[in-house]
């Protein structure tokens, strides 16, 4: 019952405005794509719908990282692994929907398995012809990996940079495993050439618009879940662990259990982001496990402002928009230098990120206005002592 009373506090004015903006985007972009003719200046081309949908998926990934890094102090450099696992679960479902329409016309085996002379469908692929089963795996596989990995790591009290390093090692190990052809997931080429999702042509304009709207709804739901979590007693304990882990442990809180719970929830959110990403880009391959992708996602959160939730979303959109702009022009070879410079610049001169800095500035102005306000009783208002010059 206590958690129910936290919902109104979680859904404050800023949260409602943010959700309203996301809802408006979820409605406006598909309408401008489907309802207006191509000749209209307000028409949104289908390729932009897919591009915006990719940004929204990245925003959900950034949100999952902000939940653990911004509120619990867990810096994961391997969240790209959970994102990719969710994407592979969706890709396996989409591959099973191809049926006999593949290049080799095999109704049971995907084309890459026929090419590699596989005789039967591997056990890991069973059940993926069912959409509910695939969606269950989108949550279960990243969640189970995070649960097992986190249990060993947190039980051993691995923290700080050491935890970041082993998460990076985890995603690199998965990268090497998924590159193997005999692993059963398409090897270097990954999974692609998707046809249908729930019976709808995945390339159709209407399907693209629906996927974009679904991604926005998933981001809204993820944001609400995160807000409820951080506004609850659970969230207060997470902040205590972030600021003084040893003190929280001495007060009797089972720090490892809180860390494990939030790490698992975060991994499931990343898996959902990956599952929505795959049908919109049309491919999933081992490159998504690259440690560089996980590091880049951390930069999104740092730029937007960790510990703000909204900042993670804004940072993901801004950085990826910049990436799209720079990598499509003459500056493409220098993008990684620009990204590294951006991270260093934010760390040195904007440590709170964009949203965090704005919030800090507004809070400072409110305090100043309160101190300068005259006392209604007419009594003199004591001012804060100033440092000697």
Look at residue 330 in the predicted model and tell me its pLDDT.
80
CA distances (Å), 213 to each of 219, 220, 272, in order?
Answer: 10, 11, 14
Residues 79-129: tens digit of each pLDDT: 999 999 999 999 999 999 998 898 999 999 999 999 999 999 999 999 999
* Average of per-residue pLDDT across 323-330: 87
How many residues are listed for the chain in this entry? 389
pTM (two decimals): 0.93
| 331 in Cβ contact with 338 (< 8 Å) | yes
What per-residue confidence (pLDDT) applies to 365?
80
3-state helix, strand, coil in the chain (%, to 5): 70, 0, 25
Alpha carbons 30 and 46: distance in angstroms, whole number: 9
DSSP 121: -
pLDDT, position 378: 55
DSSP string, 8-29: HHHS-HHHHHHHHHHHHHHHHH
Nearest in space to 212 (alpha carbons), one of 45, 2, 42: 45
Residue 385 has pLDDT above 80, yes or no: no
| pLDDT tens-digit map of 165-215 | 999 999 999 999 999 998 999 999 999 999 999 999 999 999 999 999 999
| CB atoms closer than 10 angstroms to residue 387 | 4
> Is residue 208 within 8 Å of 34, Cβ to Cβ?
no
Contacts of 371 (CB under 8 A, 6+ apart): 381, 383, 384
Query: How far apart are the C-alpha atoms of 176 and 188, rounded to whole Å?
Result: 10
Count of C-beta atoms within a 10 Å radius of residue 228 = 19
Q: Within 13 Å, how many C-alpha atoms sit on residue 12's CB side? A: 8
Other C-beta atoms lying within 10 Å of the C-beta of residue 271: 31
Q: Is 12 left (phi over 0), alpha (psi -120 to 50) or beta?
A: beta
Burial of 333 (0-12, 13-18, 19+ CB in 10 A): exposed
Residues pairing with 197 in the sheet: 200
In contact, 82 and 274? CB cutoff 8 Å: yes
Going from N- to C-terminal start, the domains of the chain cover 12-360
Give the span between the Cα atoms of 313 and 323, in whole angstroms: 15
CA-CA distance, 64 to 262, in Å (whole number)? 9
Please give the pLDDT value at position 32: 96
Residue 144 reports pLDDT greater than 90: yes
Q: With 60 as the cut, is the pLDDT of residue 388 above it? A: no
In whole angstroms, give the CA distance from residue 296 to residue 315.
11
Strands (E), the chain: 191-192, 196-197, 200-201, 283-284
Q: Are 139 and 272 in contact (CB under 8 A)?
A: yes
Q: Tell me the CA distances in angstroms from 211 to 117, 223, 270, one per residue in order.
A: 34, 18, 17
Compute the half-sphere exposure of residue 381: CA atoms within 13 Å on the CB side of its CA. Answer: 13
Phi, psi of 201 (to 5 degrees): -60, 120
Q: d(Cα 295, Cα 163) in Å, to the nearest integer?
A: 14
Rounded to whole angstroms, how far apart are CA atoms 87 and 242? 30
CA distance 382 to 372: 10
Helix (H) or strand (E) holding 146: helix 131-155
Question: What pLDDT is stored for residue 9 in this prediction?
Answer: 67
The mean pLDDT value of the chain amounts to 91
> Do residues 238 and 257 lie in contact, with contact meaning Cβ atoms separated by under 8 Å?
no
pLDDT at 389: 40
């Amino acid at each position: 019952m206590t958690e129910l009373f936290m919902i109104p506090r979680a859904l404050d004015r800023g949260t409602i405005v943010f959700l309203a903006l996301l809802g408006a985007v979820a409605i406006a972009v598909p309408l401008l794509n489907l309802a207006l003719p191509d000749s209209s200046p307000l028409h949104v081309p289908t390729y932009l719908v897919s591009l915006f949908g990719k940004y929204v998926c990245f925003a959900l990934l950034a949100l999952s990282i902000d939940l653990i890094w911004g509120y619990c102090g867990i810096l994961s450099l391997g969240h790209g692994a959970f994102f990719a696992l969710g994407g592979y679960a969706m890709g396996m479902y989409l591959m099973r929907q191809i049926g006999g329409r593949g290049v080799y016309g095999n109704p049971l085996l995907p084309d890459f398995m026929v090419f590699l002379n596989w005789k039967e469908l591997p056990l890991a692929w069973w059940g993926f012809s069912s959409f509910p089963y695939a969606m269950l795996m989108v949550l279960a596989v990243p969640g189970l990996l995070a649960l097992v990995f986190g249990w060993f790591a947190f039980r051993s009290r691995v923290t700080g940079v050491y935890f970041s390093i082993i998460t990076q090692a985890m995603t690199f190990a998965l990268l090497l495993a998924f590159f193997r052809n005999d692993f059963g997931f398409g090897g270097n080429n990954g999974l692609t050439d998707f046809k249908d999702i729930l019976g709808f042509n995945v390339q159709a304009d209407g399907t693209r618009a629906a996927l974009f709207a679904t991604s926005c709804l998933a981001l809204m739901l993820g944001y609400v879940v995160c807000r409820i979590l951080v506004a609850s007693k659970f969230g207060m304990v997470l902040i205590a662990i972030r600021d003084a882990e040893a003190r929280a442990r001495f007060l009797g809180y089972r720090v490892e259990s809180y860390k494990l719970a939030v790490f698992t929830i975060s991994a499931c959110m990343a898996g959902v982001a990956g599952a929505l990403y795959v049908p919109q880009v049309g491919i999933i391959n081992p490159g998504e496990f690259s440690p560089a992708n996980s590091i880049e996602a951390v930069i999104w959160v740092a730029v937007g402002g960790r510990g703000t939730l909204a900042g993670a979303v804004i940072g993901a959109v801004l950085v990826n928009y910049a990436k799209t702009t720079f990598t499509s022009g003459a500056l493409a070879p220098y993008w990684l230098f620009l990204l590294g410079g951006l991270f260093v610049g934010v760390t040195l001169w904007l440590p709170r990120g964009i949203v965090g800095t704005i919030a800090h500035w507004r809070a400072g102005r409110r305090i100043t206005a309160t101190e300068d306000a005259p006392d209604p009783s007419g009594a003199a208002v004591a001012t804060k002592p100033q440092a000697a010059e």
